[in-house]
C-alpha cells in the first residue's frame, strides 16, 4: 500500500545510495514500469560509483539472457547530483517541484 501511494504521488523516482530497503523499492518501481503500470522516469543516482556493481549486474543479467533489454531501458543513470535536474527535464514534460526549487536556490 505504501509503495502504491509512493507511485501515485511521484512524478519521477530517484534512487539515492542506500541499502536493502532502497533496492526493494527500486526493483519494484522498475518492474512496475516495465509492466507498464506507470510511465514515470526512474533514475539511479550513481554518485561516486555507489551503484556501479548493481548496474554491472543488470548488464550481466541481460547479457546472460535472463532479462530483456527493455528492463535495462526501464531506468536511467545520473552520475552526479549536478546531472539530476537536466536529466529530469529531459525525461519529463515538466520537472518536479523539487528540481525547480533546487534550481532557484
* Amino acid 70: pLDDT: 74
- The torsion angles phi and psi of 76, rounded to 5 degrees, stand at -115, 165
Work out the mean pLDDT of the chain and round it to a whole number: 88
The whole-angstrom separation of Cα 101 and Cα 105 is 7
pTM above 0.95, yes or no: no
Beta-strand runs (E) in the chain:
13-15, 42-45, 76-78
Burial class (CB in 10 A: 0-12, 13-18, 19+), 72: middle
Can you tell me the mean pLDDT for 88-93?
Answer: 87
Interval 13-43: pLDDT, tens? 999 999 999 999 999 999 899 888 999 999 9
Q: Identify which of 63, 66, 64, 44 has the alpha carbon closest to the alpha carbon of residue 55.
A: 44
pLDDT score, position 69: 78
Which pLDDT score, from 0 to 100, does residue 100 have?
54
| pLDDT given at position 24 | 95
Phi first, then psi: give them for residue 44, nearest 5 degrees: -100, 120
pLDDT confidence of 1, banded at 50, 70, 90?
Answer: confident
d(CA 31, CA 97): 25
Amino acid at each position: 500500500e505504501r509503495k502504491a501511494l509512493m507511485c501515485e504521488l511521484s512524478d519521477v523516482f530517484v534512487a539515492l545510495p542506500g541499502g536493502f530497503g532502497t533496492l526493494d523499492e527500486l526493483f519494484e518501481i522498475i518492474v512496475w514500469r516495465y509492466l507498464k503500470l506507470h510511465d514515470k522516469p526512474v533514475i539511479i543516482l550513481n554518485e561516486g560509483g555507489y551503484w556501479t556493481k548493481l548496474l554491472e549486474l543488470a548488464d550481466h543479467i541481460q547479457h546472460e539472457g535472463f532479462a530483456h533489454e527493455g528492463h535495462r531501458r526501464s531506468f536511467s543513470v545520473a552520475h552526479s547530483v549536478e546531472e539530476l535536474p537536466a536529466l529530469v527535464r529531459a525525461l519529463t514534460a515538466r520537472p518536479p517541484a523539487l528540481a525547480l526549487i533546487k534550481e532557484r536556490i
